[in-house]
Amino acid sequence: DWTMAGYRDEAIRQIREQVGDAHVICGLSGGVDSSVTAILLHEAIGDQLTCVFVDHGLLRQNEATEVVKMFRDNYNIKLIAADESDLFLGQLEGVSDPELKRKTIGRLFIDVFQKYANDIKDAEYLAQGTLYPDVIESVSFSGGPSVTIKSHHNVGGLPEKMGLKLVEPLRELFKDEVRALGHELGLPASFIGRHPFPGPGLAIRCPGEITREKLEILRKADAVYIDQIRKHGLYDEIWQAFVAILPVRTVGVMGDGRTYDFACALRAVTSVDGMTADYYPFSHDFLGETATRIINEVKGINRVTYDITSKPPGTIEWE
């Protein structure tokens, strides 16, 4: 009989067999996938694992601090916290094409991991929390022509020059299975239930050119929105919810004055695996209250819209 406990034991056995005595570097993002990957690897190979958490400057409010704290408090895993935000944001300056954003970010991730790998003795492998839907959606649709919807930055293998081999213990799993495995591994429920967050982070929630000003506004608006969702007890009903800051300023009035600030879009979807999704049917009261809060609390936004596109034809992210 298939059980998650059995899967876990088999995954641990396979990791040991693949890796031997070598050292593994694991990119930790704080999401469920990479957290489960890290903990599974730690159970399999203990001190032969070093995790690297890269702050690319495209994380949500307080995210870097929270993730590093949760790992340092709960696990005895070697963890390097790298602030590389100047590098990433510098290279992304003037870049507005979604695929170029992903390619740039993917390339920099490799550079950064390589840099840390060079300092670690016997580092031979890079572990990633790639899931089954990442693999198929990025590569091609079976049977049809090789159509790429979005080049997920964490799929497609590593350039030979990096000299590291891949370990991807979640490659056969869907999201709900990864969550069950996280549960099996004792990952805190609050962590298991976290909404997915894409590797390119806020870069793909900031259509067009990315600026530090826009990122700062986006972080604040997103924090208010998620706070609203939690307060109304809706977080666990939703697959993913976030704000996208739009590359357009609109005119508004506030008090006696005219404003000319950014518009934003709220996104919330239900889904089973991210492959298809329906927009979440918030009440008008919830939407109205949230719009008022964002406009009052976030300087730089004067208009809030709600995205009611499902997937397909839309995608979950805006880019």
Q: Please report, in range form, the residues annotated as the binding site for ATP.
A: 29-35
In the complex, minimum distance from the CB of residue 129 to ligand XMP, in angstroms, rounded to a whole number: 9
Among 53, 198, 241, 244, binds ligand XMP (CB under 6 A): 198
Q: Are 27 and 127 in contact (CB under 8 A)?
A: yes
In the complex, minimum distance from the CB of residue 249 to ligand XMP, in angstroms, rounded to a whole number: 25
- Cβ-based burial of 184 (10 A; exposed 0-12, middle 13-18, buried ≥19): middle
Residue spans of beta strands (DSSP E) within the chain = 23-28, 49-55, 78-83, 123-127, 165-167, 240-254, 257-270, 278-279, 301-306
Regarding 27 and contact with ligand XMP (CB under 6 A), the answer is no
In the complex, minimum distance from the CB of residue 98 to ligand XMP, in angstroms, rounded to a whole number: 9
Smaller CB separation from ligand XMP, 156 or 300: 156
Regarding 196 and contact with ligand XMP (CB under 6 A), the answer is yes
Regarding 199 and contact with ligand XMP (CB under 6 A), the answer is yes
Regarding 274 and contact with ligand XMP (CB under 6 A), the answer is yes
Q: Are 45 and 19 in contact (CB under 8 A)?
A: yes
Regarding 317 and contact with ligand XMP (CB under 6 A), the answer is yes
Tokens, residue 104 = 């740039």
Q: Are 137 and 148 in contact (CB under 8 A)?
A: no
Amino acid present at 37: T
Regarding 240 and contact with ligand XMP (CB under 6 A), the answer is yes
Contact residues: ligand XMP, CB under 6 A: 102, 150, 152-154, 196, 198-200, 240, 274, 311, 315-317
